[in-house]
């Protein structure tokens, strides 16, 4: 297993200092991180910027762990669904340019007037169409567990199984399961055969006296981002279990808390490296 940081994990600095993908690359080089996760959220259509970032990463021996696309297949208008598919197809081409085999995808979320069953059918349709192109490019589409239609492990697994493509699997987000009342370790077991990529994050429950804005869960509770190992995600156990299952991809940090991004991300990387070292030498 290798470590990575998502550019989204540095969102506070990205916004404050107007970072480009090149700035992010220099940050990773400075801290000798093994992987860079890039996003269309920051870089859609900015191929020159991405290529420059890739040049710096290549020279430092840093791989692009994944390229993330922010698609939403749950659209009542068929032409809008096609536009969302086009987003994914563009991301596949960008992933090829960046020499990564992983495109993180979303499924989409419920909207007024659209039933769960209808939304799910459009998700399966969209992923199936995109999987045909992904297979030709040798790119794997990795669904992040996120939202009401694909937030639970059983939802993600059933979508993957219905699409029936070896090029569609899971971006296993360790923290997001807490937001839908799931158990991260049980979810890991359910999705283990399908995991292409891992987002490493942690959450704790917001305290009543805290004024911070948290992520609201299905139960109505709010959760605050933490460095992996400081919240309620059994982070070390997840690393050990992934090792037992011979997962050899990236553990990509996606910190969503209030600490200084540079400090929180590098501390998470240090912990991941220590836990990986335990299983490699245990």
Task: Characterise 221 by phi-psi region: left (phi > 0), alpha (psi -120 to 50), beta (else).
Answer: beta
- Determine the distance from the C-alpha atom of residue 6 to the mean position of all C-alpha atoms in its chain, rounded to a whole number: 8
Task: Tell me the pTM.
Answer: 0.97
pLDDT tens-digit readout, 70-124: 999 999 999 999 999 999 999 999 999 999 999 999 999 999 999 999 999 999 9
CA nearest 32: which of 68, 65, 4, 10? 4
pLDDT tens-digit readout, 136-177: 999 999 999 999 999 999 999 999 999 999 999 999 999 999
pLDDT tens-digit readout, 2-26: 999 999 999 999 999 999 999 999 9
Q: Which residues contact 269 (CB under 8 A, 6 or more apart)?
A: 3, 5, 31, 33, 253
Cα 106 to Cα 7: distance, rounded to the nearest angstrom: 17
Q: What is the CATH code for 2-281?
A: 3.20.20.150
Residue 282 is predicted with a pLDDT of 63
């Amino acid at each position: 297993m290798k470590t990575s940081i998502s550019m989204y994990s540095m969102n506070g600095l990205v916004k404050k200092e107007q970072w480009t993908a090149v700035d992010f690359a220099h940050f990773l080089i400075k801290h000798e991180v093994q992987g860079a996760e890039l996003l269309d959220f920051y870089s859609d259509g900015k191929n020159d910027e991405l290529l420059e970032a890739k040049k710096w990463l290549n020279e430092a021996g840093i791989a692009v762990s994944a390229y993330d696309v922010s698609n939403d297949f749950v659209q009542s208008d068929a032409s809008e669904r096609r536009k969302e598919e086009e987003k994914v197809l563009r991301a596949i081409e960008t992933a090829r340019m960046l020499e990564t085999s992983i495109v993180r995808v979303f499924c989409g979320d419920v909207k007024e007037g659209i039933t769960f069953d209808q939304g799910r059918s459009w998700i399966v349709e969209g992923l199936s169409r995109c999987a045909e192109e992904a297979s030709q490019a040798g790119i794997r589409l990795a669904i992040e567990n996120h939202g009401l239609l694909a937030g639970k492990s059983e939802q993600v697994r059933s979508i993957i199984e219905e699409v029936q493509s070896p090029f569609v699997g899971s971006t296993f987000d360790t923290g997001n399961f807490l937001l839908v009342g799931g158990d991260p370790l049980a979810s890991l077991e359910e999705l283990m055969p399908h995991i292409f990529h891992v987002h490493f994050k942690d959450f704790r429950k917001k305290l009543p006296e805290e004024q911070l804005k948290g992520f609201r869960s299905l139960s109505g509770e709010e959760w605050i981002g933490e460095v992996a190992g400081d919240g309620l995600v059994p982070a070390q156990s997840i690393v050990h279990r992934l090792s037992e299952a011979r997962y050899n991809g990236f553990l990509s940090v996606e910190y969503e808390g209030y600490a200084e991004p540079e400090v929180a991300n590098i501390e998470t990387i240090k912990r991941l490296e220590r836990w990986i070292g335990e299983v490699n030498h245990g």
